[in-house]
Amino acid sequence: MTGRPEFLFPLFGALEGLDGIGPKTAKNLAALDVETPRDLLFLLPQSGIDRRLRRSVRDVLPPHVATVEVEIGNHIPPRQRGRPYRVIVQDAEQEFQLVFFHARGEYLASLLPSGQRRIVSGRVEVRDSIYQMAHPDLVLKPDEVDTLPEFEPVYPLTAGITQKVLQRAIASSLSRAPDVAEWIDAQQLARAGWPTWREALQSAHAPAGTADLSTETPARQRLAYDEFLAHQLTLALARARRRRSAGAQTRGDGSRVQPVLAALPYKPTTAQTRAIAEISADMAAEHKMNRLLQGDVGSGKTLVALVALLTAVEAGGQGALMAPTEILARQHMEGLAPLAAEAGVTLELLTGRDKGSERQRKLAALADGSIKILVGTHALFQRDVQFADLRLAIIDEQHRFGVSQRMALGEKGAHADILVMTATPIPRSLALSQYGDMDVSLLDEKPPGRQPVTTSLASTERLDEIVARLQQAIDEGRQAYWVCPLVEESETVALTAAQSRFEQLRAVLGADRVGLVHGQLAPADKDAAMARFVAGDTRVLVATTVIEVGVNVPDATIMVIEGAESFGLAQLHQLRGRVGRGSGASTCLLLYEPPLGEVAERRLKLMRDSDDGFRISEEDLAIRGAGDVIGTAQSGLPRFRIADLERQADLMAIAQSDARKLLHDDPGLTSARGKAARVLLWLMEQDKAIRLIHVG
């Protein structure tokens, strides 16, 4: 099956083919992200209107929709222009008025002939104790009562589209939905009591009451699961393909790792030991490793990375560690070098700043294998960087990249094992969808003896007091970061703010005691500013957010974050992780601009009360929603039409194991269920994944 199966064509044709849709409506629907009949199937009603026939408008509590049979009385045309046209009607108990603005009399006379009976449905209001129904949604003859929908689905609307148009077009799409073979595991289907795909669609579009709009209904659950399953199949296919591509079998003999572990002033945590074992097993196996090492700030990822790199060296190969920025690459270098020295292994640093003969020398040493471990930035992946025998590529802080970028990167690394490190504590549901193609090692335990960071909140109105306290702390020999507000729209505005805070702090604390770093500094100046702070020459470092995740200055024990409400919690947690690294007690002060909104207050209080990155991210997700936690655009997160990533994390987990199992049993997707799963992928527009299916 190389192309989309023909029986799905009707769902992927032009919208204009559907009842009641012309080119203009089709264009308007694009605003709802609806471009094909298939998209309409997945556009589910968000609410509904109860249109059950009632005896009287008195049976509902206005303002509310009521459907009643009435006898039509007098027509009262407007006496002045701009006044409404009224029709007096009488239901079983109550006389009321149908009200029409800008109405044509003849039309209303034929629609509502005096003396006859009609069923009218619309929103009832009471004005000056008179019951009114303005512009009824429905007017039916009594013998048409059977056509009355008891509960009418209400779809999300966009300009130029009415409910009627949508309802009709959706009904027309539904009639095109074919019967499909089941792609969900039979046991799962039975256990959950889910309907077939078609039945699920039919029933999701025909709610019988408000309860049917819940994400918990079997129909909606199934449709959500379908989305998750398609997504997880794509990830599982990518994973399977990578695992098929032979990796080198990298087995260490302990000759480099043992001396390092012996020289450590501490023992690895249980979590570190477990991660190291998982990684070594993966590296030794035939398949290519594609593993995520996830651990909160300070959980000790560096040691795990080092052991993996040394294992590559023990096996006679090379390792590379890539950091997202120059500063971080340098810090890794500085952190790893003394440990690597214990093992007698040389590290080298390669960044975009290496030019000319220096760069040539490094590249040559890399190509002849004399450099064993290379630390660097993106420069590592440039075309002219050739390794003699690259066994392991570690990518640090990769949460900045999405699934597709990572896939591209993996292809570059030929058969090297890949280890991605992230300090972003991602909630499980997001981890599953973002990293579902990877195996995960979790550092869920911090090394003992950490000093917790005391966090407090303060309004910028108390700035003077805060600066005075800062002065005192500096006089006691402490160092502080001062992070300026995040300004999404404009780097220039952010810079101006940082600049003026810098000037002000200098004026109070002394010109030589305050430094400034920001994104627009030349790299050399940035390094110089960082270096002065690391050396303790400057005592306060004013920064836009360039003080990166991972920067290590043990004497810095104060973190002031201005405009804290503008940051994501994960980001705040990362920033806070910059302090509390040394032996001194550390503090983090979250400064906010009053007045603080309710949500913002909840978020900042959560930060104050918890030091657990995972808990923070879970709650942040609950407070804000998935896209915002990682930043939608860069998150690489798929957009689901029906599924709700936050509330249906359990389904995502089931989908992941189901997808992996299906591919394990049927790598080429050739069984009956495998073929059905292909249809699902086509239906979910995962065309890319289809190309990953194993042939042969």
Does residue 328 sit in helix, strand or coil?
Answer: helix
* Angle at the Cα of 576 from the Cα atoms of 635 and 565, rounded to 5 degrees: 65
CB of 396 to ligand ADP, least distance (A): 8
Q: Which stretch binds Mg ion (CB under 5 A): 74-82, 260-268, 543-551, 573-581?
A: 543-551
Measure the CA–CA gap between 369 and 660, rounded to whole angstroms. 37
**CB closer to ligand ADP out of 300 and 376:** 300
Cα dist from 150 to 53, 207, 261, 675, whole Å: 8, 9, 72, 39
Task: Give the residue ranges of DSSP H helices in 247-349.
Answer: 257-263, 270-284, 301-314, 326-342
568: partner contacted, choices Mg ion, ligand ADP, none (Cβ within 5-8 A by kind): none
303: partner contacted, choices Mg ion, ligand ADP, none (Cβ within 5-8 A by kind): ligand ADP
The amino acid occupying position 678 is R
**CB closer to Mg ion out of 303 and 560:** 303
**CB closer to ligand ADP out of 586 and 686:** 586
| Residue 524, φ and ψ in degrees, nearest 5 | -65, -40
Measure the CA–CA gap between 19 and 14, rounded to whole angstroms. 12
Is residue 89 within 8 Å of 97, Cβ to Cβ? yes
Sole binder of Mg ion in the list 319, 376, 436, 550 (CB under 5 A): 550
Half-sphere exposure at residue 245, Cβ-oriented, CA atoms within 13 angstroms: 18
Pairing of strands 540-543, 479-483: parallel
Q: Which stretch binds Mg ion (CB under 5 A): 148-156, 452-460, 511-519, 544-552?
A: 544-552
**CB closer to ligand ADP out of 28 and 552:** 552
**CB closer to ligand ADP out of 17 and 447:** 447
Is residue 308 within 8 Å of 508, Cβ to Cβ? no
**CB closer to ligand ADP out of 30 and 585:** 585
9-39: burial string, b at 16+ Cβ within 10 Å, e else: ebbbeebeebeebeeebbebbeebebebbbb
CB of 638 to ligand ADP, least distance (A): 28
295: partner contacted, choices Mg ion, ligand ADP, none (Cβ within 5-8 A by kind): ligand ADP
245-266: burial string, b at 16+ Cβ within 10 Å, e else: eebbebebeeebbebbbeeeee
**CB closer to ligand ADP out of 553 and 679:** 553
CB of 582 to ligand ADP, least distance (A): 9
300: partner contacted, choices Mg ion, ligand ADP, none (Cβ within 5-8 A by kind): ligand ADP
324 sits near Mg ion (criterion: CB under 5 A): no
Residues found near ligand ADP in the complex (CB under 6 A): 266, 268-269, 272, 295, 297-303, 423, 447
CB of 590 to ligand ADP, least distance (A): 21
545: partner contacted, choices Mg ion, ligand ADP, none (Cβ within 5-8 A by kind): none
Measure the CA–CA gap between 441 and 635, rounded to whole angstroms. 21
CB of 302 to ligand ADP, least distance (A): 3
CB of 482 to ligand ADP, least distance (A): 22
The length of the chain, given as a count of residues: 696
Q: Which stretch binds Mg ion (CB under 5 A): 226-234, 257-265, 274-282, 547-555?
A: 547-555
CB of 423 to ligand ADP, least distance (A): 6
- Would you give the DSSP letter of residue 204? H
Instruction: Choose among 90, 126, 135: nearest CA to 108.
Output: 135
Instruction: Choose among 132, 152, 78: nearest CA to 108.
Output: 78
CB of 581 to ligand ADP, least distance (A): 6
- Residue 351 host element (H or E): none
**CB closer to ligand ADP out of 450 and 462:** 450
269: partner contacted, choices Mg ion, ligand ADP, none (Cβ within 5-8 A by kind): ligand ADP
Nearest residue relative to Mg ion (C-beta) = 550
Q: Which stretch binds Mg ion (CB under 5 A): 223-231, 542-550, 610-618, 649-657?
A: 542-550
CB of 592 to Mg ion, least distance (A): 28
Per CB under 5 A, residues contacting Mg ion are 550
